Amino acid sequence: MVDKDLLSIQEARALIRSAREALTYFSDIGQEKVDSIIKAITDAAVSNAEDLAKMAVEETGFGKWQDKKAKNMLASEKLYHHIKDMKTIGVINEDKEKKIIEIATPAGVIAALIPSTNPTSTTIYKAMISLKSGNAVVFSPHPSAKKCIGKTVEIIRSALKSQGAPEELVSVMSFPSIEGTDELMKESDLILATGGPAMVKAAYSSGTPALGVGAGNVPAFIERSADVDSAIDKILVSKTFDNGTVCASEQAIITERVIEEKVRASLISKGVYFLEGEKLNRVKAVMERPNGAMNPDIVGRDAGFIAAKAGIEIPYGTRLLVSDEEGVGPRFPFSKEKLTALIGFYTVENWEEGCEMCFDLLKNGGIGHSLVIHSNNEEVIREFGLKKPVSRMLVNTPSTHGAVGITTGLAPSFTLGCGTVGGSATSDNVGPQHLFNIRRVAYDLNNKSCAAPKITGSSDVDIKLVTELIINQLKNITVA
């Protein structure tokens, strides 16, 4: 009988070894060839974007294939146009005034952990940024998405082969396990961790440098100066995108009492159903596991699926289920992250109170991630920007699309750093620039010699004379 855990560990070691051998390929090519490889992978991903999207939905049951296709396009075509002119190989900058040459040195072999919610797009994205920066990458797939992730890697490897590059630059574990993934993380040079809090914590505890993300419990504040209908349209487009599987999707709507009725009416007219009484209790019963964690059975599902599972009836065509929530914390399930067609609703008296409510929601599982505000009051927007502990504050845009760089100028990314406040090593949208080190060659700015004179004797007088000469030389040198 084969021990699957040992098999997984051995496979991780073998893939790391093969990746290290393949890395020597990058030492013989320049930026132009690397960019040619990235273009080939982009073209292959674009050609297969729809098939991979359908495969992901079929295998995991999460989301909508049309939206997963859009994610695949973001991870390939849009990402390519963002990074295609980025210098990542060899000399990347030369400052003649400061006399510093900057040379990119790859991280090495990257361990990339892939979630089941965004499996194919995250695989494409991590392969693209890893190879662009001269690294090899080994994927650890979520077991429930192993087939579609494996197919994505197969397509990428074919693109590598077509360019004469070693296929071992990109590989995937066939026998993923906790033990095998732990070994992969320990043996790699850098970890790109995208997934749940426990997995990200394991990455940071592995002893290997890691770039991870935190949970997203994104508040959406609608301030009284906002265009309410436009704000609701954007929130619904974002929250229903791929049935809410993106961690940057809105988790609660907060609005001021003066416009509350207008916000409610707009939500209802656009297909949102407010849960009350027994229907609300039934939905709450299927939202979470006994320990308070999200119920995976409803992750990435639409409103109709959730209603059927809860045994309730809702109007046909309902896009989102919403509940007035009374508080924030473990006892209030609609105040938590919900990667599905559920959202909380809060009413506050003014923007100052709304600011505090957003802060409370962020502290309840989303600190450091993202916040979205719908407002035409620049003073209020500035106050939120100055005070909220997030890495992305999005203004008048769908949160999902804005955070990953579709509707904003932010870098296209499926690894959204949460900064130190959120337990991440970066607050950026992670890209190729995070996957290499920079070696700096720094020249003396004054070009003056400070060589010590030759010592011809060993007397106290000689040593004293030498010391005085060196001191005098140093006085003439300006310290940079």
What is the dihedral angle through the alpha carbons of 9, 11, 16, 22, rounded to the nearest 10 degrees? 180
Which amino acids are annotated catalytic? 247
CB 59 within 8 A of CB 147: yes
- Single out the residue of 375, 404, 374 nearest to residue 392, CA to CA: 404
In the block, which residue shows the tokens 């949160």? 399
User: Burial letters for 131-151: b for 16+ Cβ neighbours within 10 Å, e otherwise?
Assistant: bbbbbbbbbbbbebbbebbbb
Angle, in degrees to the nearest 10, between helices 119-132 and 49-60? 130
CA distances from 477 to 96, 124, 441, 452, 469 (A): 20, 52, 20, 14, 13
| Residue 39, both tokens | 């273009």
Q: Which residues contact 215 (CB under 8 A, 6 or more apart)?
A: 196, 197, 247, 337, 365, 366, 369
Q: What is the C-alpha separation between 296 and 284, in angstroms, rounded?
A: 14
Q: What is the C-alpha separation between 360 and 177, in angstroms, rounded?
A: 36
Q: Which residues pair with 392 in a beta bridge?
A: 370
